[in-house]
């Protein structure tokens, strides 16, 4: 299967431009999963810029 990196990058909102995993969603998800986190695309652009990728932060933002 061909890597979809270029297509993925068009939909990636991560502002951490120097990350070697940017556009490589399989690596990105695995990395954050191992840290108990979610990738940038789970957060809106303002929340993403905090670099807080924790599940707790995600739940706080999405609770009523
Ligand atoms: S969400 Fe995390 S792993 Fe994915 S590109 Fe951004 S900084 Fe890298």
**Residues 19-29: tens digit of each pLDDT:** 999 999 999 99
Indicate whether residue 40 lines ligand 1 (CB < 6 A).
yes
Indicate whether residue 23 lines ligand 1 (CB < 6 A).
no
Nearest residue to 51 via CA among 24, 13, 9: 13
Across 34-40, average pLDDT: 97
In the three-class reduction of DSSP (H, G, I as helix; E, B as strand; rest coil), residue 43 is classed as coil
Atom of ligand 1 nearest to the CA of 19: 8
pTM for this one?
0.90
Atom of ligand 1 nearest to the CA of 23: 5
Nearest residue to 21 via CA among 45, 44, 53, 47: 53
Indicate whether residue 24 lines ligand 1 (CB < 6 A).
no
Predicted pLDDT of residue 14? 98
Predicted pLDDT of residue 64? 74
**In this prediction, what percent of the chain has a pLDDT beyond 70?**
100
Predicted pLDDT of residue 1? 85
Q: Mean pLDDT in the chain?
A: 97
């Amino acid at each position: 299967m061909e890597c979809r990196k270029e297509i993925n990058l068009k939909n990636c909102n991560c502002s951490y431009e120097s990350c070697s995993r940017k556009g490589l969603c399989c690596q990105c998800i695995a990395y954050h999963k191992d840290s108990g986190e979610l990738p940038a695309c789970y957060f809106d652009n303002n929340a993403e810029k905090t670099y807080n990728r924790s599940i707790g932060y995600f739940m706080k933002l999405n609770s009523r």
